[in-house]
Amino acid sequence: MVNFKSLGRCFFALALFALPACGGATFAMVPDREAVFAKGEVSVNSVSDDGNGSYVVKVDHLGDPAKLNSSATVYVVWVMPKGKEDANIQNMGAIKVDSDYSGEHAFNTTFKAFEVTITPEPSADVTKPSGRDVLKTNVAVD
């Protein structure tokens, strides 16, 4: 005889474990000690079978970048795969912050485990971070 109540719990548990691979997981970002006002998170939109992942960074209370780095005009999102050296850090683009000091930026990567950081930079096309990490987190998906 099939116990449907137990079967339902099994499906629920399987769905929970599959959640990061299918999307929906969120990773809170930690602010720099001098920018405790900043808040951010990285959400997993989806990870396809071929390993391509779609992510969104959302920020709040992220003020003028020039207040954190006098030459900065923009905030840049960076991704660095875990276990790799800094040479593999990738500029994922500038995050646009509105007049309410909020913003979001979508990006894709094939990395499964990586660090996401946001730094104030002089331009959106810099190849290495020059400012300090205003927000950072580690992301890991299956």
The pLDDT tens digits for 62-105 are 989 998 899 999 999 999 998 766 668 999 999 999 999 999 99
Look at residue 35 and tell me if it is in a domain.
Answer: yes
Average pLDDT over residues 37-53: 91
CATH code for the domain of 55: 2.60.40.200
Look at residue 14 and tell me if it is in a domain.
Answer: no
Domain containing 120: what range? 21-140
Higher pLDDT, 34 or 96: 96
Look at residue 8 and tell me if it is in a domain.
Answer: no
SS3 of the chain: helix, strand, coil, percent, to 5: 20, 40, 40
| Whether the Cβ atoms of residue 89 and residue 79 lie closer than 8 Å to each other | yes
Q: How many domains does the chain have?
A: 1
Look at residue 77 and tell me if it is in a domain.
Answer: yes
pLDDT confidence of 35, banded at 50, 70, 90? confident
pLDDT of residue 20: 41
**Beta strands at 113-121 and 26-28: parallel, antiparallel or unpaired:** unpaired
Look at residue 109 and tell me if it is in a domain.
Answer: yes
Look at residue 27 and tell me if it is in a domain.
Answer: yes
Using alpha carbons only, give the angle 72, 77, 83 rounded to the nearest 5 degrees. Answer: 125
Look at residue 44 and tell me if it is in a domain.
Answer: yes
